[in-house]
Structure 1
Amino acid sequence: MILLVERNNQFIDTFWACVMGGIIVVPLAPGITDEHRSKLFRVARRLRQPYLCTDRRIFARLAAFAADHALSDELERLKRATVFLDDLDDISRPGNLHTPSGDDIAFVQFSSGSTSAPKGVALTHRNLLTNIAGIAHGADISEADLGLSWMPLTHDMGLIGFHLTLMLMNCSHHLMATSAFVRHPQLWLLEASKKRASLLCSPNFGYRHFLKTFNDSKAAALDLSSVRILFNGAEPISIEVCREFLTTLAPCGLKASAMFPVYGLAEASLAVTFPAPGAGCSTVTVNRGTLGVGKAVESVSAGDPRGVTFVLLGSPVRGCEMRIASDAHAGLPNNTVGHVQIRGENVTGGYYQDLPATQAVVGEDGWLDTGDLGFCSDGGLAITGRFKDIIFVSGQNYYPRDLEEVLEKQIGMDLGKIAVYGVRPHNATTDEVLAFILYRGELSDFIATVKNVKRHINERIGIVVNHVIPITHMPKTTSGKIQRYLLGAAYQNGQFADVLAKLHDLELDDNPTVFDARNEIEKNLKGICEVFIKSKPLGVTDNIFELGTSSLTLAQIYERIEAIYPGQLEITDFFDYPTISELARYLETRLKLSHA
């Protein structure tokens, strides 16, 4: 049963009803973009006639999407197997309690990067119980702990780490809506302070999101002396962000030893390595030129210009084995870069109904290739990067090929003439997203392509393309595969600096913008948007998706508008009215109808 709900209480009730009834749960995030809705249909095809549990509001959005994308027949088949939560009016009839075996599948986790060809990690009761025991032991969790999490329950850290583990350890825990954290990041630690939470969690971007709105005047309201562990995982960990967060909140009683950098993935039922509780953050700095697979890393000083610093992530949790392997799948010694592989009773037996994908990552000896590269030092595991080209943005991962396919379909670009890649700037907590386009015309004529690329990726996927770069040659292997990493390296080496500077000037000169608001509603909307959109002077006729408005920024803008005009707009209205002028006219119509 696909579980597609927005509210945590709905999720918890339905999740446990399925588990206790012997129904395999498939949690998916409803989201606000077309990509979320498209993913549902791809997952449904993979599952082969699943049930769906949702509400009529979410289903109406699916119906509108299906009508626009020739998916109405698929939706109709799915509707016949849909349970609408808003239609449930009698919960007095008892269900039939199912007693599972350890090898029964409890739920299937489709990762945030599962898009074009979704892969569902099948997790059995044995997998989960093994890893939960390892998590509890590795973090010294007891009934005395109290957890608080804003992580979505569709994410393995939110569901396994901060619900299943704490429930099985008989810990009180509080679940905060992710949207509440996005809109009001200060609420997270205010509630942690009030409830005397000892266990908290967030990926890097969440710590950074909190710091953006925090100031010394708010410190007096916080007492974080009860916090003993701050789990930090789900994306590459920035030591700079860790240190800034700890330093900023030290006056509130937060201990530096609380930061708990971890490594895990859905295939491991979440946790792979933990540091020792109370050890805090440890790092290692190595020469970036020694990070090839099979190479022994060379340690350098933290200030060495050749150096790159990694946060150390501890040792394997109880019940999980880990090794670093060569390209030939042979074990490698410490301080040698290789493929991170895992095995144990916590590790999935494979992807649901997908034998080829399973065989691609699980060897005959049982070792599963995580897709990550790293090395082990005396201080623990260091992850150096993904073997493939996954892009990390705001706690989510995206596959370049999926973004390329969106552009090929929406803009009509030919296959092999576009490459998308992510690079991590120094001290940043998220990747820059780059789109390289094969183009040999005049640079002034390229501006329309720049706007189209940014708008379509932003509208459909919900992330910002930082730069759209024209190239005259697309590097490929002899078999025709695009070598994206070469383009990323060229960008980082400054080879596109001149063309990007010229494009920036051309964008500013292109299409004179109407800056002046023409009425009170436009003035209010423009003032709100200007607080969050600062890439260029904002006009009322500018398309906000062409200016780099991420889904996070969109949620913040919507929250401010909702405070002034409550109940008049939905966040999805931005996709239909993407300029201030258009949105103002629509809002004006809504206000007139509500006052009539």
Structure 2
Amino acid sequence: MKRYRTLTEALAANASDALSVTFIEGSQNEVTVTYRELQLRALRLLHVLQSRGLKPGDELIFFLRSNENFIDAFWACLFGGIVPVPVAVGISDEHRSKVFRIFARLQRPRLLTDAKSLQLLEAFAEAGGAQREYSSVRAQSLVLEDLRLGDTLGEEHPLEEDALAFIQFSSGSTREPHGVCLTHRNVLTTVVDLGHRAQYRSGDVSLSWMPLTHDLGLIGFHINMIVFGINQHIMATELFSRRPLLWLQKASEKRASLLSSPNFGLRHYMKMYRTRDDHDLDLSCIRMVMNAAEPISVGLSHEFLDTLSKHGLPRSAIYTCYGLAEASLAVSLPKPGREFEYVVTDRNSLNLEQSVRYVSASHPDAVRFAIEGPPVEHCRVRIATTDGRDLGQDVIGEVQLQGANVTAGYYNDREATQELFTTDGWLHTGDLGFLHQGQVVITGRLKDIIFVNGQNFYPHDLEAVALLDERLEIGKVAVLGVRKNDADHDDVLVCVLFRGELSDFAPIVKHVRQLITKQTGVEVTHVLPVRRIPKTTSGKVQRRLLADDYLRGEFDQVIADIGRLVAPAVEPPAEAVAHDLAALLKSIFDRIVAEKNVGAQDDFFEIGMSSLELAQIHEQIDANYPGMLDITDLFDHSTIDALAEFLRDKLGQSASADPGSLAASGGRSDRGAAGR
């Protein structure tokens, strides 16, 4: 394979009409752009950007909804030496706030956006008293609808291997976002190592729904395919959220061999898959589904393989990987072509600097962790103490990195960069794990460890125990430890996604406490109902946001109410639930998108509701009326009144049917074997 010095060299070398990227926006809505056309489109857009005053070294924030526009702009910037700064549009005010915080972090920032996204920024600024910040951003904004492309090509800027290619801000929500600096050398090192380890070959075809603002979407499933000369398909993330079954339908149709999905994507797909029995799929073409971006569920991975094997999905398809933005994506990957492997350990042997004890799957304290392969060629991994003492094999410690794929630091943030590295130059990942026969096993996050009575516990381990209560579902439970000021112990919180009557939640409180105490000896401080489990765009649970809410006292009232309900006295009877469908639907919308104040006649799309929000709403409606609505029905009946009328017809005019609640309906579970 030819060695490229820069990303633009790679695109220029593969600028062929035989290779293409296809943007999938619907079952019948696709746009295919050849790599040759992509190069020309990028250079034409570069001319427009340069005519608007952008120069090499300027930072251009992408706040774009369209994948096609994103890719054109990304390559235009690279050709011109302009630094792309991708930011997820997202669904919440936190995403909009992040734009202003990142803008303030940069040195010569500009913003590229579309008219709709700009309106959302303006509305957010007005509501939050940030008009001054918005004015600064607006003055430096380029709106896509105002740009007119001609045939004139922009002037390419000469690039070096160690030139900054783009800035990758974390997919999470942080008060002070840190931008990972990735050079052309960093990214090309990872891309080549990943492609060689995964054994990419002529005839491979990729398909991804991961956001382009995430390193797995941008580096793993776009840039990687450019460098290796592979035809690629990029499916809109919101389309996958709305119609997850389309993902593998398109994989079957396009004969895709390279796919990716974290746990939450597999879970979302499986939930919708089980609602139908007319699947016409041939998945024998799939070589790998890269499972990364969040802790890998062994049980869910097995369930995915078991369920889809009848459609020809190979047992070797799940490909367990480990990486992070600071390593330009890839750290470790297994050899492809064989079923993924895992280890079974004693949960009591997972303390820091403790040797791991391996046990049988039937052991009462057994916990499973996926093996995520040996380090890629140009990345060195050690398991060490936080001060840099190497712990060797089969001992729990922090995963630390060195290599040509590793970032030099955070953009314009000297203090954070200094904290990122050990004194001997290894990068702190903040991830906990161990090496087993030279392969990486990730067990959790250093900052997520819960400390109780001198022992360390992992949130994912306690969550698996909580999921033994069959009313709970994987992905809808978050365990965290929170230490109040001057306390000598962590409060252990179990947060459960629940929007029913509080009286229906009381039995869950009692049972979850009983399960965790009996299985682990950990005394749970509080089991709390929450309206949402905050996650990053890649699906990682943001426990910090829940901890902040707890410390601010936002759960104090519900804690008091639950205390009265679970006190050793006769429980009060459950309150009567609403029988009017429109009122029930209104209450669901109010819980999930309270800030939008959706009226009975408000069109969901006219008020800017995202498909991800509608997916959450559909999930709650489905919990009350299983199988009665498809998520696409919310698009066809896009007001509360229209949806209520449609649902009433589906129920056979039974408007007085008791909707119940998640707990009362049994809390249908979609989790795999893990946690059973």
1:515 corresponds, among 558, 568, 579, to 579
In the alignment, the residues of structure 1 paired with residue 640 and residue 324 of structure 2 have an alpha-carbon distance, to the nearest angstrom, of: 39
The aligned residue for residue 101 of structure 1 is 160
The aligned residue for residue 464 of structure 2 is 425
In the alignment, the residues of structure 1 paired with residue 542 and residue 188 of structure 2 have an alpha-carbon distance, to the nearest angstrom, of: 40
1:58 corresponds, among 90, 108, 117, to 117
In the alignment, the residues of structure 2 paired with residue 515 and residue 366 of structure 1 have an alpha-carbon distance, to the nearest angstrom, of: 63
The aligned residue for residue 45 of structure 1 is 104
In the alignment, the residues of structure 2 paired with residue 289 and residue 43 of structure 1 have an alpha-carbon distance, to the nearest angstrom, of: 42
The aligned residue for residue 336 of structure 2 is 277
In the alignment, the residues of structure 2 paired with residue 456 and residue 49 of structure 1 have an alpha-carbon distance, to the nearest angstrom, of: 36
- 1:259 corresponds to 2:343: no
Cα pair distance change 1:460/1:516, threshold 3 Å: farther
Cα pair distance change 1:39/1:457, threshold 3 Å: farther
Opposite residue 270 of structure 2, the aligned amino acid is L
The aligned residue for residue 357 of structure 1 is 416
In the alignment, the residues of structure 1 paired with residue 72 and residue 567 of structure 2 have an alpha-carbon distance, to the nearest angstrom, of: 55
In the alignment, the residues of structure 1 paired with residue 68 and residue 347 of structure 2 have an alpha-carbon distance, to the nearest angstrom, of: 46
Question: What's the CA shift string for 1:444-463, capped at 9, x where partnerless?
Answer: 9xx9xx9x994698799999
**Correspondence list, 1:200-349, <5 A:** 200-215=259-274, 218=277, 220-349=279-408
2:198 corresponds, among 117, 134, 139, to 139
Question: What's the CA shift string for 1:1-35, capped at 9, x where partnerless?
Answer: 10000111011111111111111111001112111
For these two proteins, the number of residue pairs brought into alignment is: 492
The aligned residue for residue 554 of structure 1 is 617
Q: Secondary structure at the match of 1:321?
A: strand
- Greater shift, 58-67 or 454-463, is seen at 454-463
User: Contact conserved, 1:325 with 1:339, CA < 8 A, in 2?
Assistant: yes
Cα pair distance change 1:114/1:220, threshold 3 Å: closer
In the alignment, the residues of structure 1 paired with residue 132 and residue 563 of structure 2 have an alpha-carbon distance, to the nearest angstrom, of: 50
Question: What's the CA shift string for 1:226-268, capped at 9, x where partnerless?
Answer: 1011100000000100100000000100000111000000000
In the alignment, the residues of structure 2 paired with residue 340 and residue 39 of structure 1 have an alpha-carbon distance, to the nearest angstrom, of: 28
In the alignment, the residues of structure 2 paired with residue 322 and residue 379 of structure 1 have an alpha-carbon distance, to the nearest angstrom, of: 10
In the alignment, the residues of structure 2 paired with residue 320 and residue 526 of structure 1 have an alpha-carbon distance, to the nearest angstrom, of: 52
Cα pair distance change 1:274/1:215, threshold 3 Å: same
Cα pair distance change 1:205/1:357, threshold 3 Å: same
The aligned residue for residue 470 of structure 2 is none
Cα pair distance change 1:567/1:102, threshold 3 Å: farther
Identity %: 41
Question: What's the CA shift string for 1:245-300, capped at 9, x where partnerless?
Answer: 00000010000011100000000000000011112211111111111221111111
Cα pair distance change 1:146/1:45, threshold 3 Å: same
Cα pair distance change 1:91/1:280, threshold 3 Å: farther
In the alignment, the residues of structure 1 paired with residue 336 and residue 536 of structure 2 have an alpha-carbon distance, to the nearest angstrom, of: 41
RMSD: 4.2
Cα pair distance change 1:384/1:368, threshold 3 Å: same
User: Contact conserved, 2:172 with 2:542, CA < 8 A, in 1?
Assistant: no
Cα pair distance change 1:247/1:459, threshold 3 Å: closer
**Correspondence list, 1:341-490, <5 A:** 341-378=400-437, 380-389=439-448, 424-426=463-465, 429-430=474-475, 432-433=477-478, 454=530
User: Contact conserved, 1:528 with 1:561, CA < 8 A, in 2?
Assistant: no
User: Contact conserved, 2:169 with 2:178, CA < 8 A, in 1?
Assistant: yes
Opposite residue 434 of structure 2, the aligned amino acid is F
In the alignment, the residues of structure 1 paired with residue 572 and residue 85 of structure 2 have an alpha-carbon distance, to the nearest angstrom, of: 44
Under a length normalisation based on structure 1, what TM-score does the superposition of the two structures give? 0.74
In the alignment, the residues of structure 1 paired with residue 275 and residue 578 of structure 2 have an alpha-carbon distance, to the nearest angstrom, of: 38
In the alignment, the residues of structure 2 paired with residue 157 and residue 500 of structure 1 have an alpha-carbon distance, to the nearest angstrom, of: 45
Opposite residue 464 of structure 2, the aligned amino acid is P
Q: Secondary structure at the match of 1:358?
A: helix
Opposite residue 425 of structure 1, the aligned amino acid is A
Structure 1 unaligned blocks of 5 or more: 392-420, 475-481, 483-490, 534-539, 541-548, 570-596
- 1:149 corresponds to 2:208: yes
Displacement of 1:346 after TM fit? 0.4
The aligned residue for residue 587 of structure 1 is none
Q: Secondary structure at the match of 2:464?
A: coil
Cα pair distance change 1:463/1:255, threshold 3 Å: closer
Question: What's the CA shift string for 1:88-135, capped at 9, x where partnerless?
Answer: 123333211112111111111111224111111110000001000101
Cα pair distance change 1:230/1:464, threshold 3 Å: closer
In the alignment, the residues of structure 2 paired with residue 387 and residue 509 of structure 1 have an alpha-carbon distance, to the nearest angstrom, of: 41
User: Contact conserved, 2:476 with 2:533, CA < 8 A, in 1?
Assistant: no
- 1:86 corresponds to 2:128: no
Cα pair distance change 1:506/1:185, threshold 3 Å: farther
- 1:563 corresponds to 2:636: yes
The aligned residue for residue 417 of structure 1 is none
Cα pair distance change 1:368/1:463, threshold 3 Å: closer
User: Contact conserved, 2:394 with 2:436, CA < 8 A, in 1?
Assistant: yes
User: Contact conserved, 1:562 with 1:568, CA < 8 A, in 2?
Assistant: no
In the alignment, the residues of structure 2 paired with residue 83 and residue 378 of structure 1 have an alpha-carbon distance, to the nearest angstrom, of: 52
Structure 2 unaligned blocks of 5 or more: 1-59, 451-458, 468-472, 485-490, 492-501, 507-525, 554-558, 594-599, 601-611, 622-630, 643-676
User: Contact conserved, 1:433 with 1:465, CA < 8 A, in 2?
Assistant: no
In the alignment, the residues of structure 1 paired with residue 534 and residue 192 of structure 2 have an alpha-carbon distance, to the nearest angstrom, of: 41
User: Contact conserved, 2:100 with 2:137, CA < 8 A, in 1?
Assistant: no
Cα pair distance change 1:319/1:500, threshold 3 Å: farther
In the alignment, the residues of structure 2 paired with residue 73 and residue 302 of structure 1 have an alpha-carbon distance, to the nearest angstrom, of: 59
**Correspondence list, 1:516-535, <5 A:** 516-517=580-581, 522=582, 525=585
User: Contact conserved, 1:133 with 1:318, CA < 8 A, in 2?
Assistant: no
Opposite residue 132 of structure 2, the aligned amino acid is D
Opposite residue 430 of structure 1, the aligned amino acid is G
In the alignment, the residues of structure 2 paired with residue 353 and residue 293 of structure 1 have an alpha-carbon distance, to the nearest angstrom, of: 33
User: Contact conserved, 1:312 with 1:379, CA < 8 A, in 2?
Assistant: no
Q: Secondary structure at the match of 2:300?
A: helix
1:34 corresponds, among 93, 97, 102, to 93
Displacement of 1:147 after TM fit? 0.1
Q: Secondary structure at the match of 1:284?
A: strand
User: Contact conserved, 2:198 with 2:336, CA < 8 A, in 1?
Assistant: yes
In the alignment, the residues of structure 2 paired with residue 459 and residue 216 of structure 1 have an alpha-carbon distance, to the nearest angstrom, of: 25
User: Contact conserved, 1:35 with 1:460, CA < 8 A, in 2?
Assistant: no
User: Contact conserved, 2:317 with 2:339, CA < 8 A, in 1?
Assistant: yes
Cα pair distance change 1:23/1:460, threshold 3 Å: closer
User: Contact conserved, 1:123 with 1:269, CA < 8 A, in 2?
Assistant: yes
User: Contact conserved, 1:219 with 1:251, CA < 8 A, in 2?
Assistant: no
Question: What's the CA shift string for 1:380-432, capped at 9, x where partnerless?
Answer: 211111001399xxxxxxxxxxxxxxxxxxxxxxxxxxxxx886334775362
Cα pair distance change 1:166/1:514, threshold 3 Å: same
Opposite residue 564 of structure 1, the aligned amino acid is H
In the alignment, the residues of structure 2 paired with residue 469 and residue 131 of structure 1 have an alpha-carbon distance, to the nearest angstrom, of: 34
The aligned residue for residue 188 of structure 1 is 247
Opposite residue 80 of structure 1, the aligned amino acid is A
Opposite residue 211 of structure 2, the aligned amino acid is P
Displacement of 1:45 after TM fit? 1.3
Q: Secondary structure at the match of 1:51?
A: strand
